[in-house]
Structure 1
Amino acid sequence: MKQYQGYLIDLDGTMYQGNQKIDGAAEFIHYLNEHEIPHLFVTNNSTKEPEQVADKLHTMGVEANSDEVVTSALATAEFIADKDPGATVYMLGGSGLRTALTEHGLKLKDDEFVDYVVIGLDEAVTYDKLATATLAVRNGAKFISTNKDVSIPKERGFMPGNGAITSVVSVSTGVDPIFIGKPEPIIMNKALDILSLDKKNVAMIGDLYDTDILSGINIDIDTIHVQTGVTTKEELTEKDIPPTYTFADLNEVIAELEGAD
């Protein structure tokens, strides 16, 4: 396997599975830190702040700092602030999205007369929230969604994801949103900018083909699939563009890297 100068790394299914550790995850990050190889954790989760993500990684024995975490909430806030500083926003979502938007100087409003509608995963979503978002889009607000994941893994099973919530407003208004998170290039290009490395020397690591692996393919970087989450090795044979590599877990990736030293 090629030696890379930097890595973009998925979380759920790659670093951990819900609240369970994944064998090899902590060891892989330790290997990167020991060899001073830069890396970022890239997540579609918009509900958590980077500090909260880093704290969860710590509970799994994974070395992580908040400045190594790129969330779809951060990428969304930066996307809007770059285009329209100080814009007004009606949002659905959690504290991670709220904090990211306000810290980027955007003004949150609780009505349908805004510049942007931003939808992130909102586990307390109501008809009234969706109605306000719908009216705002109909009034001409630009429509942004943190990610298109239609389902997310929970202890009870796969639950409705942000893409499912977003679809209510999209279907009602006939307006398709701009999606920010994986597999879209926006979040990935933000992460590449932070790494400041030539993308031919960066690889994306993840378990889910339709988000993690496609996100790498969509920005033309190499991809490393790990068989510790959703997409199986057998399912990869049905894909038009396979990942650059696939491994049982991150222990195998470490072995490959050590063998190439």
Structure 2
Amino acid sequence: MKGFLIDLDGTLYRGHERIPGAAEFIQWLQDAQLPYLLVTNNSSRTPEAVAEHLQGLGIAVPAAAVYTSAQAAAQYLTEQGRARSVHMIGEAGLQLALEEAGFAVGGTTVCDYVVQGIDRSFSYAKLTEAVRQLAGGAAYVLTNPDRLLPSDGGLMPGAGTLAAAITAASGVEPVVIGKPSPIIMAYAIERLGLPAADVWVIGDNVHTDIRGGAVAGCLTALVLTGVATPDNVEAQLASAGVTPDRVCRDLFDFIEQVEKELLR
């Protein structure tokens, strides 16, 4: 029995485009009754919004099968046991996750945390306020370190790019929650209820998905449908210094490789 932690952006879809093999792969897991969790570094959407987006692409998954870096950030803050005020830089998914966990988002002059995810309305004013909060003693928590994200028109800046500006201005390094951090990996593996050695981590990003899986002691499979492509995979692997257990053209290829091995 194996479990699966599967990336979303660049693995199942690119923006509003379903990646070939995505729906078939999820159906394959469901038919085999294999436990899985869709683990995304994208903090902008709620699990329900992610499930709705997937449904619109013809990929049927329940919201309970989605775990976001926003949820993991809220879980991490809850475990810290500090006061509950948060200065948030992010979007609806992060705000809802924090509020559902009982955190007061904004509304105070000095906050205990600056929690930052992707924010497509990021501005100089938001950068200034984050720096001032950190200078006042707030702890810095970053949902995910991705500097680039796959989208309909190509790559776009991610939360890690915004964090680079905040860190450069404040001198404060954040606690990173999302992949490749062991924080989100431990939470996700715990949700599957399996030993890490019995879990496949599948994704398109060597630096986040594959490194996170390797550090957690999971099996790893890199698909060449997002950040990693057939043209750049060698450079990606060299720069990351990590080797996946499998490199697959796409999820169809992953299924074929696994089924061939089972028939040996």
Normalised to the residue count of structure 2, the TM-score between the two structures is 0.92
Conserved 8 A contact 2:3-2:198: yes
**Which whole-Å CA distance do the structure 2 matches of 1:141 and 1:217 have between them?**
32
Unaligned residue ranges in structure 2 (runs of 5+): none
Q: What SS does the aligned partner of 2:34 have? A: coil
Q: What SS does the aligned partner of 2:178 have? A: coil
Which of residues 46, 51, 68 in structure 2 aligns to 1:71? 68
**Which whole-Å CA distance do the structure 1 matches of 2:159 and 2:181 have between them?**
15
Which of residues 74, 81, 86 in structure 1 aligns to 2:78? 81
Conserved 8 A contact 1:93-1:120: yes
Partner of 1:223: 220
**Which whole-Å CA distance do the structure 1 matches of 2:142 and 2:214 have between them?**
21
Aligned residues: 258
Conserved 8 A contact 1:112-1:133: no
Q: Which amino acid aligns with 1:257?
A: V
Q: Which amino acid aligns with 2:165?
A: V
Unaligned residue ranges in structure 1 (runs of 5+): none
Q: Report the alpha carbon displacement of residue 171 of structure 1 after superposing the two structures with TM.
A: 1.2
Partner of 2:251: 250
Q: Deviations over 1:124-180 (max 9, x none)?
A: 122222211111110111111111112223344333211111122211111101111
**Which whole-Å CA distance do the structure 1 matches of 2:155 and 2:204 have between them?**
16
Q: Report the alpha carbon displacement of residue 102 of structure 1 after superposing the two structures with TM.
A: 0.5
Structure 1's 195 and 107: CA in aligned 2 closer, same or farther, altered over 3 A? same
Q: Report the alpha carbon displacement of residue 189 of structure 1 after superposing the two structures with TM.
A: 0.9
**Which whole-Å CA distance do the structure 2 matches of 1:258 and 1:148 have between them?**
34
RMSD: 1.7
Conserved 8 A contact 2:41-2:179: yes
Q: What SS does the aligned partner of 1:214 have? A: helix
Partner of 2:53: 56
Q: Report the alpha carbon displacement of residue 235 of structure 1 after superposing the two structures with TM.
A: 3.3
Q: Report the alpha carbon displacement of residue 111 of structure 1 after superposing the two structures with TM.
A: 4.6
Conserved 8 A contact 2:145-2:178: yes
Q: Deviations over 1:67-101 (max 9, x none)?
A: 11110100001100111265110001101000000
**Which whole-Å CA distance do the structure 2 matches of 1:194 and 1:249 have between them?**
26
Equivalence map 1:25-64=2 (5 Å): 25-64=22-61
| Stretch moving more, 213-222 or 92-101 | 213-222
Normalised to the residue count of structure 1, the TM-score between the two structures is 0.93
Conserved 8 A contact 1:90-1:112: no
Structure 1's 236 and 167: CA in aligned 2 closer, same or farther, altered over 3 A? closer
Q: Which amino acid aligns with 2:243?
A: P
Q: Report the alpha carbon displacement of residue 241 of structure 1 after superposing the two structures with TM.
A: 2.6
Give percent identity, aligned residues only: 39
Equivalence map 1:1-261=2 (5 Å): 5-84=2-81, 87-232=84-229, 233-235=233-235, 238=238, 240-259=241-260, 260=262
